[in-house]
Copies of this chain bind each other. A is one copy, B any other.
Amino acid sequence: MLLDLLHCNGLYETVFMPSATIALNTILRGLNLSKTDTVYISHFEHNSVTRVLYYLQKTIGFKLEYIEVTDNFKYDLDAIKRQFINNKPALVVMSHVSNVCGLIAPVEDIAKLAKGFEAVTVVDGAQACGVIDINLQNIDYYVFAGHKTLLGPFGVAGFVCRKNSSLKSFVLGGTGVDSANKEMPSTIPERFEAGSQNLMAIAGLNYSLKWRNSIGIKSIHEKEKKNYDSLYAILSAYDFIKIYGDKENSSAIISCNFKDYSSDEAGRILNNYGIAVRTGLQCAPDAHRFLGTFPEGTVRFSISYFTNEDDLKNLKSALDEIEEQL
C-alpha cells in the first residue's frame, strides 16, 4: 500500500525500521562512499542526516557541500547544476519538507540533475510522505516515518528502495529466515530487517494507510493547505510574532519567534493555554543557521488534516491574551 502511495509498486521494495533515524543511518552508512566523493545536503537537514554524515566525513574524508538556495528560499536549478559541474555529486541528500520551517524542496528536479552525474539520491520524507505527492523516478531511497505525516503509531518507519539496490546491511542480527548464514541474507527487505518487527505498529500504519487511501492524498494535501493558510493568517496578524520561511512553498509547519520571549518561554506560555509547540533547534541546527535563528531556535507550530476551527480559535484567543500582557 505504501508502494502504491509512492507510485513505485513493482520497482521498489519497502523496508521497515523502528524509526526514520535508523532508516537514514542504514542508508547513509550502507553506501560505498570514498574519500574523493562530494556529498551534497540541503541547509534543512535533520541531525539524523547531518550527525551521520559528519561522522562518516571524519572517518572517510569526503567533501560535504550545501545545495545552494537563495535568501528567499528559492532553489535555482542552473546554479545547482553549476555546483554539480564544479564538484560532481556522489550522493545528494535532501529533506522533502523542512521540519523547522515547512519549506518544500524541489527534490524531483534536483534528483534529476543529480542523476545526470550518476549520484545516489536520498530524500528524507519524514515530514512529507502521504501529504506531498512524489515521483521517485530519480530517487533511490525515500524515507518515511509512521508517526509523522502518515498519522500512524510510534515504532514504525523505514524506506523504499529499488529492488536491485546494493546497499549494505547496517543493523545485524536474526532474520527468521536463512538463519544458518553467518551474514545477513542478501534479499531485500531481509538484508536490513534484523530483529523482531514491531507488528503492532506496522498494523497501525496499515490502518492509517487504508484511511489515507479512502480520503486520497490530494484531499489531504488541500485540507492541510487550508489549515496552513489559516494558521499563517492568525500568526501574521500579530506584530509581536516574527515568522521565518516561505509562505508560498511550505507545508504544515510555521516557525516563528515571540518578541521579548525566548522560544522556550513562549513554548511554556502556550503550553499553559493547552497549545503544544516544539521550541529550540528542533534537531536541525543548520536550518536555524540559514534562517538566522541560531542558536536560539524558534517556536514551531504545526497543523494536520485534523486541525479544526476550535483549535485555531483557541490559538487566536491565547495570542490575544499574550499580546495584552506584553
Spell out A's residues near B (CB within 8 Å). Answer: 18-22, 24-25, 46-48, 50-52, 54-55, 145, 147, 153-155, 171-176, 179-180, 182-184, 194-201, 280-285, 294-295
Contacts and interface: CB of A to CB of B under 8 A. Distances in A.
28 contacts: A19-B196, A20-B195, A21-B173, A21-B194, A22-B22, A22-B195, A25-B171, A25-B194, A46-B173, A46-B174, A47-B174, A47-B194, A50-B182, A51-B174, A51-B182, A52-B172, A54-B183, A147-B196, A154-B155, A154-B198, A154-B200, A155-B198, A174-B284, A179-B280, A179-B282, A179-B284, A179-B285, A180-B295
A135 B145 CA distance: 39
A46 B176 CA distance: 11
Contacts of A24: 173
A41 to B, nearest CB: 13
- In the complex, the count of this chain's copies comes to 2
Nearest to A50: B182
A52 B154 contact: no
A173 B285 contact: no
A180 B285 CA distance: 5
A175 B282 CA distance: 9
A174 B284 CA distance: 8
B25 A18 contact: no
Contacts of A174: 21, 46-48, 51, 283-284
Contacts of A180: 281, 285, 294-295
A197 B153 CA distance: 12
Given A180-B295, A280-B179, A285-B180, A195 B48 contact: yes
A46 B173 CA distance: 8
Contacts of A184: 51
Contacts of A18: 18-19, 22, 155, 198
B295 A183 contact: no
A275 to B, nearest CB: 19
Contacts of A22: 18, 22, 171, 195
**Among all A-B residue pairs, the 3 with the closest Cβ atoms:** A21-B195, A174-B283, A18-B18
Contact of A155 (B47, B155, B281, B283): B155
A284 B173 CA distance: 10
Given A22-B22, A51-B173, 12 more contacts: A21-B195, A21-B196, A25-B172, A47-B179, A48-B174, A48-B194, A52-B173, A54-B182, A154-B198, A155-B198, A155-B200, A179-B281
A43 to B, nearest CB: 15
A99 to B, nearest CB: 9
